[in-house]
Structure 1
Amino acid sequence: MTSEARPAGFGALLWLALATFSMGIDGYVLAGLLPQIADDLDVSNAAAGQLVAIFALTAAVAGPVLSALTGAWERKAVIAGSLALFVIGNLVIALAPTYAIAMAGRIVSAVGGALLTAVVSAYVLAKSQPDRRGRALSFVVGGFLVATALGVPVGLVIGQLDWRLPLYLVAVVGTIALIGILINVPKLHLPALSLRETLRPLKQPVLIGAILVATGIMCASYLCFTYATLIFGPRVDGAAAIIAAMFGYGLVSLIGNIISGRANDRFAPVSVITLIIGVLIAVALLGTAGLMLPGFGGAVAAFAWFFACALFNGGSGVALQSRLGDLAPGSMALVLALNASGMQLGSALGGILGGALLVAGLPADGLVPASAVVLVVTLVLHLGISRAARRRGRTPALAA
C-alpha cells in the first residue's frame, strides 16, 4: 500500500489539529479586545469591530471560490500554503501601524483561514477509514474547540497587556503547526476534476438544503450566544461567573464534539443531525421554563441551559461535514467550504436577529424561545431534504 493510500496516522492528525487550534484563537480573541484595538489604532469601537466582521465576510466568499480553483492541486501543498498565508496575515495585523494595514492583514488571514478550514476537513475525510472518519474529523475539529476553551482565555489575559500579543501567539502556533505538517503529513492527490465538474454539486437542491441546515443551527446558537451576558447578567454577580460560563461552554463543546465523532462512526450522519436538532429544541423549551425561576434556581437553570446548548452545538459540526462528504465525495473541499460559509452566515444572522429582537423590545430571556422557533424551521428543512435524498438513493435512511 502506497503512503497516499494509507490512512493518516495520529501524528498527522495532531498537526492538523494544531493548525485548527491556531485558527480557533484567532477567530474569537479580537472580539474581546476591541477597546484596546480602537484606542491603539485611533478608531472607534465600531470600526475596530469591523476587523472581526471582515474576516467572516471574506472567509464566506473566498472559501468556496478558492476550494473550487484549487480542487486539482495536491492537498498537502494547499494545506501548507493556506496555513502560511493565515500566519502571514496575522503577523501583518500584529505589526500594523495603521487601521488600514490591520484591515488588509485581516483580509489576508481570512483568505488563508477559509481555504485551510475546508481543505483540512476534506483531507481528513479522504485519508480516514470509513468506520473511523467521525472520530478523526472530531479530533481535528476539536483543535478549534480546545482553542475556544483554553486558547482564547489565555489570549484575552495576555491581550490586556498588549492586544497585539495574541496575534503573535497565533502566528507562533501556526508556524509550529506548519513545520509539523510539512514533515509529518502525507501527500494526497485526489482525482483531478474540471471546474465545471467540481461545481456540479451546486446544482443539487439536497446539498444546498444540507448547507442551509448548518446555517439554521448556527443562527439559533448565536441568536443566544451573542447576547449570553445579557441573560446571565441579572442572575450572577461579577464578570468572573460569566467568564466561567464561557470557559465551561468551550469545554462542554469539546465533549460534544468527541461524542458526536464516535456517534457518526456508528450511525448515519442524518440520524445524528436529527437527534441534535430535536434535543436542542427541547433544551430551548426547558431553558425557557427554567429561566422563569427566581434567584438561585434561575441561575442554575441558566448554566444548565447554556452547557446543554454547548454539548449539542459542539457535536453538530462533525455530523454536518460527514453528511456533506457523503453527498459530494468528489467535491469535498468545495462543499465543506460552502458549509463553513453557511455556518458563518448563520452566526451573523443569529447576531443580527437577536439584536433586532432586543431593539424591538423583547427581553434577553425571550431569545431562548426565539431560538427554538429557528430550530423548528431548521428541523422541518432537514427532514424534508433527507426524505428527498432517500427517494433519490443518495443517503442512508434516518434509521441507523
Structure 2
Amino acid sequence: MTETRPIDVSGPGRSFSNRPFIWLAVATFSMGIDGYVLAGLLPQIAGDLDVTPAAAGQLMSVFAFTAALAGPVLGTFTSRWERRTTIVLSLGVFVLGNVIVGIATNYPIALSGRVIAALGGSLLNAAVTGYVIALTPAEHHGKALSFILGGWMTATALGVPIGLVIGQSSWRLPMILVAVVGTIALIGIMLRLPHLHLPGGTLVDRLRPLGQPRLVAGLLITTGILCGSYACFTYATLILGPHFKAEWAIVAIMFGYGVASMAGNAVTGRLVDKFSAIRVLTIVLVGLLLNAVLGMVALMVAPLVVAAVWSLVWFFAAGVGNGGAAVPQQARLATMAPDSAAIVMALNGSAISLGSALGSGLGGVALTAGSSANGLLGVSAAILAVTVVLHLLVTRASRRATGS
C-alpha cells in the first residue's frame, strides 16, 4: 500500500503555494475548453454529421446529464481507490472520449464519445476537488479551490477563443485540442502528484448527506447558479450577435468573458479566506440577479448604441459573478458536511451538470415558445431570484443549526 504524503502548501515564513496543484489546474483547463467550445460550433457539427442544430446541441446535453447521474455512483465505486490513481484513470477516460468525438464518422459515434467523456469528467471533477480539500489546511481552502477552478476559468479566456478560431476550419480540432491538453495534464499528474488514500464508503454513505434537507437545498443553489448562467451563455451569440456581427468580435468578447470569470474566481477565492463564504456568496448572488434584471431592461428599451454597450457590461459582469460564485459555494458546502467533503463535492459536481443541462434546455424552450434572445435574461433573472431566496433560507437554517 502506497504511503499517503500530505502536500506542503505553506510553512514558516512562507505564503500559500499553488505549485503542488498545477497539473490539476491543467486538467480542469482541458475540461473548461470541453465545457464551452461546442456551443459556438453547433452549425459546423450539424453540417458535418448531417443532423439538425438541435440534435448537435444534444452533444452538450448528453454530457451534462450523464455527468449528473454518474458522478455519485462512480465516486462510490472508486472511493476505496488511491486518489491519484482515480484522478489518472478518470482523466484518461475523459481524454479517450474526446478523441472518439474528434474522429467520429457519424452522429451515434460522436454521441457515444460524449457519454464516455462525461463518465471520466464527472469522476475527475469530484476527485480533484476532494483531493485539494483533503490536503489543504482549512484556512487555505479558498485559495486552493480558486487556483484549481482557475484552470476552468482560464479555459474560457484562452482555450475557448482558440478553440473557436481553429474550429472554423474543422469542429474536430478543438476536441483534439482538449485531448492533447488533457494528455499533458495526465503526464504531469503521474510524474508529480503525491499519492493519497482516503476512507472509502458505500453508496448509502455517499448519498447520506442527501438526508439533510439543508444540504440538499445548498446543492440546489449550485444548480440554480449554473441554470441561470447557461440559460443565457448557451445562446450568447444570439444575444450579442445583433450588436457585434463580425466573427472576430464574438471571439474577442468570449475572451473578455473568460478574463472576467478568472478575475471573479481569483477575488472571491481570497475573500473567502478573510470573510465568511456565506457573506461572499450572498453578495455574488445578489449582484448576478441585479445584473440580469438591469441587462434585460437595457437591451429591450435602450437605444441601439446604448444597448450594444450595455450588452458588454452585462456579459462581462455575468462572467465575474459566475466565476466568483464557485469558490464560496464549494467552501460553504464543505463546512455544512465537513466529514463528508469528498462526497458532497461529488454531489455538487452532479448539481453543476444538472444546472448546465437545465439552463440550456430552459433557454431553448423559451426561444421555441417565442421569446426573443434578450428575453433570456429575464429567464435567467427569474431563476436567480429563486436561487437568492433559497440561499437566504439555507443561510438562516445554517445559523440555527450552529447556534450562531
TM over 0.5: yes
Q: 2:248 aligns with which of 232, 240, 248?
A: 240
Cα gap change, 1:88/1:354 in structure 2, threshold over 3 Å: closer, same or farther? closer
Q: 1:60 aligns with which of 45, 51, 68?
A: 68
Deviation at 1:135, TM superposition (A): 1.0
2: CA distance, partners of 1:351 / 1:49: 9
Question: 1:366 aligned to 2:378?
Answer: no
Secondary structure at 1:365 match in 2: coil
1:319 is matched with 328
2: CA distance, partners of 1:235 / 1:38: 25
* Larger mean Cα displacement after TM superposition, 318-327 or 342-351: 342-351
- The CA deviation string for residues 134-160 of structure 1, in whole angstroms up to 9 with x for no partner, is 111111111111111111121222222
2: CA distance, partners of 1:110 / 1:265: 32
Cα gap change, 1:155/1:70 in structure 2, threshold over 3 Å: closer, same or farther? same
Question: 1:380 aligned to 2:389?
Answer: yes
Cα gap change, 1:87/1:375 in structure 2, threshold over 3 Å: closer, same or farther? same
Cα gap change, 1:327/1:7 in structure 2, threshold over 3 Å: closer, same or farther? farther
Deviation at 1:60, TM superposition (A): 1.0
1:47 is matched with 55
How many residues matched?
394
| Amino acid of the structure 1 residue aligned with 2:53 | N
1:255 is matched with 263
2:289 is matched with 281
| Amino acid of the structure 1 residue aligned with 2:5 | E
Cα gap change, 1:30/1:365 in structure 2, threshold over 3 Å: closer, same or farther? closer
Q: 2:181 aligns with which of 158, 165, 173?
A: 173
1:112 is matched with 120
2: CA distance, partners of 1:127 / 1:385: 28
2:310 is matched with 301
1:142 is matched with 150
| Amino acid of the structure 2 residue aligned with 1:35 | P
Secondary structure at 2:196 match in 1: coil
* Larger mean Cα displacement after TM superposition, 229-238 or 266-275: 229-238
- The CA deviation string for residues 266-294 of structure 1, in whole angstroms up to 9 with x for no partner, is 12211111111111222223323433221
Secondary structure at 2:389 match in 1: helix
Once the two structures are superposed, the pairs formed by residues 1-400 of structure 1 within 5 Å of their partners are: 4-8=5-9, 10-291=18-299, 292-393=301-402
1: CA distance, partners of 2:355 / 2:46: 27
2: CA distance, partners of 1:42 / 1:313: 34
Deviation at 1:47, TM superposition (A): 3.1
TM-score, structure 1 as length reference: 0.92
2: CA distance, partners of 1:36 / 1:363: 24
- The CA deviation string for residues 18-61 of structure 1, in whole angstroms up to 9 with x for no partner, is 00111111222233333333343344433333222211111111
Secondary structure at 2:374 match in 1: helix
1: CA distance, partners of 2:381 / 2:358: 15
2: CA distance, partners of 1:284 / 1:358: 17
Asked if structure 1 preserves the Cα contact closer than 8 Å seen for 2:72 and 2:206, the reply is no
- Specify every segment of 5 or more residues in structure 1 that has no aligned partner in the other structure, as ranges: none
Cα gap change, 1:70/1:288 in structure 2, threshold over 3 Å: closer, same or farther? same
Asked if structure 1 preserves the Cα contact closer than 8 Å seen for 2:73 and 2:203, the reply is no
Cα gap change, 1:286/1:97 in structure 2, threshold over 3 Å: closer, same or farther? closer
1: CA distance, partners of 2:103 / 2:294: 48
Cα gap change, 1:278/1:89 in structure 2, threshold over 3 Å: closer, same or farther? same
Deviation at 1:175, TM superposition (A): 1.2
Asked if structure 2 preserves the Cα contact closer than 8 Å seen for 1:71 and 1:333, the reply is no
Asked if structure 1 preserves the Cα contact closer than 8 Å seen for 2:5 and 2:195, the reply is yes
Deviation at 1:378, TM superposition (A): 1.0
**Identity between Structure 1 and Structure 2 (%):** 53
Asked if structure 1 preserves the Cα contact closer than 8 Å seen for 2:271 and 2:280, the reply is yes
Deviation at 1:3, TM superposition (A): 6.1
| Amino acid of the structure 2 residue aligned with 1:16 | L
Asked if structure 2 preserves the Cα contact closer than 8 Å seen for 1:82 and 1:116, the reply is yes
Deviation at 1:181, TM superposition (A): 0.6
The Cα RMSD (Å) is 2.1
2: CA distance, partners of 1:19 / 1:235: 35
- Specify every segment of 5 or more residues in structure 2 that has no aligned partner in the other structure, as ranges: 10-16
Cα gap change, 1:335/1:261 in structure 2, threshold over 3 Å: closer, same or farther? same
